[in-house]
Structure formats: C-alpha cells, structure tokens
Amino acid sequence: MLVVMEKNATAEQIDRVVTVIQKRGCTARPIPGGDRVSIGVLNNQGPVDAALFIGLPGVKEAVPITKPYKLVSRETKAEDTRIQVGETTIGNGHLTIVAGPCAIESEDQALIIAGHVKKAGAHLFRGGAFKPRTSPYSFQGMGEAGLKIMARVRSETGLPVVTEAMDFQNFDLVEHYADVVQIGTRNMQNFSLLKRAGESVRPILLKRGMAATIEEWLMAAEYIMAQGNHQVILCERGVRTFAHHSRNTLDLSAVPVVSKESHLPIIVDPSHAAGRRDQVLPLSRASIAANAHGLMVEVHHQPDMALSDGAQSLYPEQFALLCRQVKAIFQVCVGQATF
Ligand code: PEP
Ligand code: MN
C-alpha cells in the first residue's frame, strides 16, 4: 500500500498517517522525491485496507502495490531516481561512465589507468581491492592497501571511486574509502550484506546475479531500500547461458524491462558480460542505444600483465574511442545530454 499525500499536506497530517500505519504493526516509509510526500506501508501481514487512510486530512489516495518489490517499483515512485556522486549525477538524462582496472595492483598501475580514463571522459574510477575469484589460488586483491590507493586516486584526479565489498565483515572498511560500494554478481543474494548496504550512507552499485531473474534482482535492491538506503544503481553484467563465444551473455533486454518496472538507474558492464576485449565496444554502443544510464568498463594500460581479467580489459585508446562513440549515441537517443 502506498499512501499519497496532497501537495500541500502538513507535517502533522503526514505524522498522523505514519501513526496509523505504525499502530497496525506495520512500518511507515516516507518516499523521497517528487512534489508531494508518499508513505509506503511495509511489513504488513496480509492486505491493508485503503479505507484506513482515505478519510484522513491531507491524504490524496491510497494505492495498493501489486508488485512483490515495493520501494523499487514505479508504482511507489513514478519518476526516475537520480543519484549524486560528487559532481556526477547518475540517472535519467545523464550518461555515466565508470572505468578502471579489474583489480588495484599497485599505486602506479592505478594512477596511470586513472589518468587515461579521466582524460577519455570517465566520470568515476573503478577497481577492486577485495576480489571474488573463482580460484582461491588467484590474486585476491590488495585489501586495505588497495583501498588506500583508491583514495589517493580520488585526491589526485578528483574522480569518485567505486569498489566492491565482498562480505558483511569488511563492509565498514570499504564504505570508509569508497564513494560508491559495489555488490558483485556472486553476492546479489547475500542477504546480510544487502541489509548492511541498506544502512550505508553510500550509494550501492548492485550487480545482477549471474543466474538471477529480474524479479530476484529487484528484490535484492528492495532489501537495500527497505533498510532506508534509497541510493541503488542497478548493473546488468551478463547471465550464464549455453554460449561459449563469450564469458556470459549480456541480457540487454533487462534494460528496458527494469526501466519500466523500476525508477532506479541502470548501467551495463559489458566487460564481465563479454569476457573478451573485442566485444566490449559493440556491446557498449548497444547498451547506450538501449537507454542504459551508463557503463562500467574495465581498462588496463598493460592488459597482458594484469593480475585479473586482462583479456576483457580495453587498452586506453580503445576506451577513448568507446567514450566518443557512446557519447554520440547518447546524444542521438536522449536529446539534450549532460555529461
Ligand atoms: C567486478 O566488477 O570486478 C566483478 C567481479 O564483477 P562481477 O561481480 O560482475 O563478476
Ligand atoms: Mn573483473
């Protein structure tokens, strides 16, 4: 149930609705944005009667939410959510490009790559300090030393930084250094991690699980929002299929479907979808043409020497070409673009 208040509803009228909701044993969650306040009714056991609210002063309407995800849904909030990270706005009308190496390997490596991606037009710098690797013998990331390097990159370049929190235990540490905290594909249904992310003041970049349906993905976002953090960026990164010509299969159809269902921004990671450098540019162009709000791309100045995901990392000049092309496509598709 969503209780939509009149535009000129007073604070007392809003408080009264909140009290009615709480007296029924439910949680009242005011929804930010728009020109009026709406209040979501959460944690209800069974249906809530709209008649409870309709007669109250300041209430415009009480609308049942039919989707299993509520705060994530456009039924709750019709207009697109925009998320501010430093000077960058992520969401409708803005194209956001996140770029950097798969993993932070050294200060030199991070600063060199950050210099290249900034010059090409990236808005945020990415890099893993804690890496979820399939093999326990593969490079696991530099840990806190890697996070400190990211902080150095931010102060040298001015680019906000995105990095992954792999578990509940290291969330505090990652949150301390990161501007945006990433939750990776393997953790999309790590519910204690999602709940912790929901308590964070940082925006969360939530990747789609490699075998997750769109509904499961949106429910994962709901976990974060239900704890009070409304700053969630969804990231499609490919799903497992029978295909061998790429590491995963980029599900571009997720972009229009998610955009219809949810007000949250959605970006695409063509690097982990493809797993191979030669597919990254065409998939990036297609993602922006499909109205994704941005891209997350792996870039390395010496991909042959990379400690992880070298095969899918673009050379800096390839990334510069990508930026030029996707900005042109964005302008055609979206009209007055602001980058
Ligand atoms: C990453 O972005 O570095 C990463 C590990 O991605 P994913 O979780 O999509 O595999
Ligand atoms: Mn990677």
Does pLDDT of 338 surpass 60? Answer: no
**Residue 237 Cα: closest atom of ligand 1:** 9
Read off the pLDDT band of 65 (50, 70, 90).
confident
Q: What is the pLDDT of residues 137-186, one digit of tens each?
A: 999 999 999 999 999 999 999 999 999 999 999 999 999 999 999 999 99
Task: Kindly give the distance from the C-alpha atom of residue 109 to the centroid of ligand 1, in angstroms, as a whole number.
Answer: 19
| Mean pLDDT for the chain overall | 95
pLDDT at 198: 98
pLDDT at 272: 98
- Look up the pTM and report it: 0.94
185 lines ligand 1 (CB under 6 A): yes
Per residue, what are the HEC states of 188-224?
Answer: CCCHHHHHHHHCCCCCEEEECCCCCCHHHHHHHHHHH
Task: Kindly give the distance from the C-alpha atom of residue 307 to the centroid of ligand 2, in angstroms, as a whole number.
Answer: 10
Task: Kindly give the distance from the C-alpha atom of residue 317 to the centroid of ligand 1, in angstroms, as a whole number.
Answer: 23
Ligand 1, atom 8, residue with closest C-alpha: 184
Nearest ligand to the CA of 212 is 1
